[in-house]
Structure 1
């Protein structure tokens, strides 16, 4: 998905709709921009470092640290440093995994895809699919994040 690899380890079917769990690998510099969605979200860093920008506040998370985003709150993340980020993401209630399935491309391995430039067409498709799944995209992270 736009340069990252996400494995859905538990979805709404597994949890009676209560939550979903995703295991994400993202390359240095990966950023998902400011956005909102209905589920609350927890990020637990396994490897690497990330910046988590939540409603105007910035947190710097390293291995073993956890960040939280309440439902419908503007937030975004960026991979910091020069290591691949591995982060577990829990969203509650479940359902957002359908968005990730819709925008992602199935992969036969847990490796990062080859780096490529994200095009305007990629972003337009992501925004349209996101809107169908209750995501609202608000633009890039603030420059001070």
Structure 2
């Protein structure tokens, strides 16, 4: 075995390279994804869906909930397609407050839909995602209009 004395500068460069390579390899696992606003909108839409999945005694409320649920489901699917969802927290559904009266549920759903609209209405840099994003935005706006009629 031949022993050679390595240049300290070379050793330092190799160590720094390994440190930076290790840091770069772990960075993608910590990033929120390509479309964090879409993921936030998905969370809001899922919470709104959860709030509407109840038996409303008033037929007007039941009909509005059913129509809004249909629009919300389509918006969720459009956003999942648009975001190219990477599976991060997509199954997480925040627990809804099951003790809310119907008026409270509809007000909370209206707030969640407004937030989801704001999340998806920003500029989109991926041309392939624009059509689905626009479809989701239309569905969110439609669900908002349905909910507004019963407020």
TM exceeds 0.5? no
Q: TM-score under structure 2 normalisation? A: 0.25
Greater share of residues in strand:
1
Higher Cα Rg, which structure = 2
